[in-house]
Structures are given as C-alpha cells and as structure tokens.
Chains A and B, each alone.
Chain A
Amino acid sequence: MINDAFDLRSTELHIEVHKFRTGAVAAATIFTLVVQALLPVYFPKADILDLPLLITIYFGLSRRNPSTGLLLGTVIGLLQDSLSKSPLGLYGIAKTIIGYVASSIGARLDTEHPAARFALTVVFFGLHQCVTVLIKRLLLAQPEALFTMRLAIAAGVNAIVAVFLFLVLDRLRKP
C-alpha cells in the first residue's frame, strides 16, 4: 500500500520516514504505561503527565503513516483505559485521532526541531482534551470542563517533557 507519507517522499519535500529497532515501539509503550502508573505513587505531582499521549504523538510524527499511527494510538489508548477506571474506548478514541492527525502532520511537516515538537505537543494535548471532553459529555453524560488552569499548565509541562523524551526516543531509531 502506498500511503500519503510515501507519496510525499517522492516529492520535493524529502521528509524522512523513520524506522525503529525491532520491539522498540512495544517496549516504549509498555515502559511508558508502567512509568505512568508508578510515578504518581512516589511523586504525586507527576499525575499531570500523560506519557502515553506523548508516545502516541512521537511515533505518529516519526512513522508518518496515518494507518499505523491511528492503530498504535488505538492500542495505547485502550491499554490506558484498561489501567484506569474510564470505560474502554474513552482514551482509545482520543488517541486514535491523535495518532492519525500526528502521522498526517508528520507526513507534511518537518517535526524534528524542538520548538516544533513543543508547539505540536501543546496543540495535540489541547486536541486530546477536546476529544475526551466531547466523549464524556456526549456519550457518557459526564460534565467535564473543557479548559482549566491546571490543563493549561499540564499542556506546558507535557510539552517540555516531550521535547526531552523525544530526544531519548530518537535513539531508538534505526540508523
């Protein structure tokens, strides 16, 4: 199957599609979920982080294949749902959409610069929040604030963490 990312490779943009070492995606996903579950036990303030979201964004932006991006988002989201008390599908849907949009953007823009990564993470965090709030309001009848100061801080903190986390994850790429 020729997807958008590969189509674009043949154009003048020369956006590179990154491949990762065997098992890197699975290992990073499990590691992230475990750290997400462990950190708040010892550092309560760390519950502001959404590491599974950052992983979804990173692999979406790097792989630049919307199909694999959305499927990875689905898996990560459903795993996150399984480890929380939310109904299965809440984060699944949100991260499916994030995976798709991230891969689509990744196929059109160069997202290697830290500033671009910071800005994109803030945008994706906002989009993720919008989708989860919509699902909660429309499907689950749970009133949820679309914007709070805590969310704004969380977006900034996650974006800062993303810049450094993405640098670490870059090392998992195949040379």
Chain B
Amino acid sequence: MVAIPSRHKSLVLLAGVVIVQVLFLAVQIKRDSQGRLIRSWTVGAISPFERTGAWGFGRVRGIWSRYFALQNTSRENENLRSENNALKLQLDQLRSKAAEADRLALLINFRQLNRNVPMLGARVIGASADTASETIFLDRGSHDGIRRNMAVITPDGVVGKVIEAFPNSAQVLVLTDKDSGVGAMLADSRIQSPVGGIGEPLLVMKYVPNDDTVNVGERVVTSGMDRIFPKDLPVGTVTEIKPGNPFKLIRVRPAANLERLEEVIVLLTMRPLELHKEAESAASDPSDKTAPEQPATKP
C-alpha cells in the first residue's frame, strides 16, 4: 500500500470530511430528514445556556431600564398616553361598527370559538445560528404539548409555525423567512393569496392578478386555507403595490413585531377551525340574530 506523504495527510482528511458531509446532505435530501437526533442533542445541550443567557439579558435590561434610562420614562409615558387615547378612539369606532357589521358578528363567534382553543405562552430564548434564515427558539417544547406545524402568534398577529419540537424547546419558522408562508387574504376585498417572507422585514403577497384592486393600507388576514392558522388573524398591512407580470408585487408590513419577539403564543391545536359551523350555531342562537350564515370556504 502506498503511504500518503505527511504534507498531504491534511488534504486527504479535508477531502474525506467534505465527502462524508456531502453524502450526509444527500441522505437528508433523499429521506427528507433533517438529522433530528443530532439537532435534538445540540439543542438540548445549548438551550440551558440560552435560557441562562436570556435570563441574564433580561436582568441587565431590567436594571438598565429601572435605574439608568429613567430620563426617557416621562417622554415615553407621554407618547404612550397619546397612543392610548388614539387607540381608545379607534376601539370606540370599531365597537360602533361591530353592532351592525355582519362579518364582525362572525368574528365575535370566532373569538368565542378561540376561547376553547388551547394556547400556551412561550418565551423566545434564541434565534437562528444561521444568518440566512429567520427562526427562533422557544422555552417550551413537546413536553408542554407543542408539536410540529402548530401556529405561533402574538396578540398583534401571526408570527410563524413550529418546524421542530424538542423536549424542552421548540424551533419556529418566522414569517419573514424565505421558506415561510401563510394562507392569507385581503380583509376588505377578501382576495386570497399566500403571503411569504423574502428574508427582509417586509413580507410579500404573491399571486394577486393585476386586474384585482388592492389599496395601500389594506389589512391582510389569514385565510385559514393552510390549515395551520385560524381564519382572520392579522397578518399585516399592505405598504407598497407595484404592477408585475403576471401578478402584482405587493409588500406587506407584518402586524406582529417580528424583529422584536420576546413572548409568543402557541396554539396547541392542529384542528382546523371551521367558521361556518360557528356561524350556523350562532344563527340558531336566538340571542344572536345578527350573525348571518355563510358558506364554508373549501380549499
């Protein structure tokens, strides 16, 4: 057997290690697996440090905000007060509309249904170690009932979906990721189209034909078609529309503050929410005669 010169040994080792990893990649693609066991070990080993780090960051920030950043407090209070007043006004307007609007009656029923949806609050303890993807890690996992493909939201809107559930943590694909998407529709015109990320803070609404009318400022909500997110959750607001070929180029600002996620809600159900049943039950309920019966939207 021919001996390898010592100066070439590292080159041979490099070739070997690279080839093994290429083969490993090929196996993952072929079997559509993502090396779950290795990920589980790594996340299990790293997440305690992440928890500790998140706790430490929180403490430091708490001390900073309590003792050192007090000079901004009065200005912030003033801003919050004016914002609160504006919100109160907006809420009053919405309440008055709610009394007459048929769709809002459905939304009220939907909210009633959501009361029964099991939810879990979770804290964000880490982000992706990869600069090209938008994922976060939560401090709750499969031991808390989290499973893959569960919806993750905040009170402001959609955040993303669980792509991996480890025993004590979970990985969430955030809506801004290039591979992310949600079944969505325009709240006013009810035009349906998926909304996805492009690796930037804004989202993109795809497949809206040039003939359809879309206005800047229009709200985008979930359509429920993806069977992950319940219908009518806020996704974002249209910020930019450009004519494209063959579809419009529509940019959407996410409703949830996806760049500063610290606490989220995981919907602990894989059950698609069927709005029409609620509408029917609401229509049969004599106490709520305003709710109209609507046909179910089928995928």
Contact = CB atoms under 8 A, between A and B. Distances in A.
Interface residues of A, number: 55
B9 interface: yes
Contact of B46 (A4, A30, A139): A30
A84 B50 contact: no
B205 to A, nearest CB: 20
B22 A89 contact: yes
B18 interface: yes
A139 B22 contact: yes
A47 B134 CA distance: 9
Contacts, number: 159
A2 B6 contact: yes
Interface string B24-41: 111011000011001101
B42 interface: yes
A134 B53 CA distance: 34
B128 interface: yes
A121 interface: no
Given A36-B129, A38-B53, A47-B131, A83 B46 contact: yes
Interface stretch (B75-83, B104-112, B254-262, B286-294): B254-262
B39 A66 contact: no
A96 B24 CA distance: 14
A139 B126 contact: no
Contacts of A35: 53
Given A41-B124, A44-B259, A49 B49 contact: no
A168 to B, nearest CB: 18
Nearest to B21: A89
Nearest to B134: A47
A122 to B, nearest CB: 16
Contacts of B22: 89, 93, 139
B7 interface: yes
Contact of A88 (B35, B57, B171): B35
B262 A41 contact: yes
Contacts of B25: 87-90, 93, 135, 139-140
Interface string A132-153: 1001000110001000000000
A92 B261 contact: no
A41 B29 contact: no
Contacts of B283: none
B54 A38 contact: yes
A37 B26 contact: no
A78 B136 CA distance: 18
Given A83-B129, A154-B131, A33 B260 contact: no
Interface in A99-125: 100, 103-104
A67 B10 contact: yes
Nearest to B164: A85
B128 A37 contact: yes
Nearest to A141: B29
A5 to B, nearest CB: 10
Given A85-B171, A87-B34, A89-B28, A38 B57 contact: yes
Nearest to A45: B259
B129 A80 contact: yes
A169 interface: no
Given A89-B24, A96-B14, A42 B131 contact: no
Interface of A: 1-4, 7, 30, 33-42, 44, 47-50, 52, 65-67, 70-71, 74, 78-93, 96-97, 100, 103-104, 132, 135, 139-140, 144, 154
7 A-B pairs closest in CB distance: A84-B130, A82-B42, A37-B126, A66-B10, A83-B129, A40-B127, A88-B35
21 contacts: A38-B50, A38-B53, A38-B54, A38-B127, A41-B127, A42-B61, A49-B131, A66-B11, A67-B10, A79-B42, A82-B39, A83-B126, A83-B130, A85-B133, A85-B164, A92-B21, A96-B17, A97-B18, A100-B14, A139-B26, A144-B132
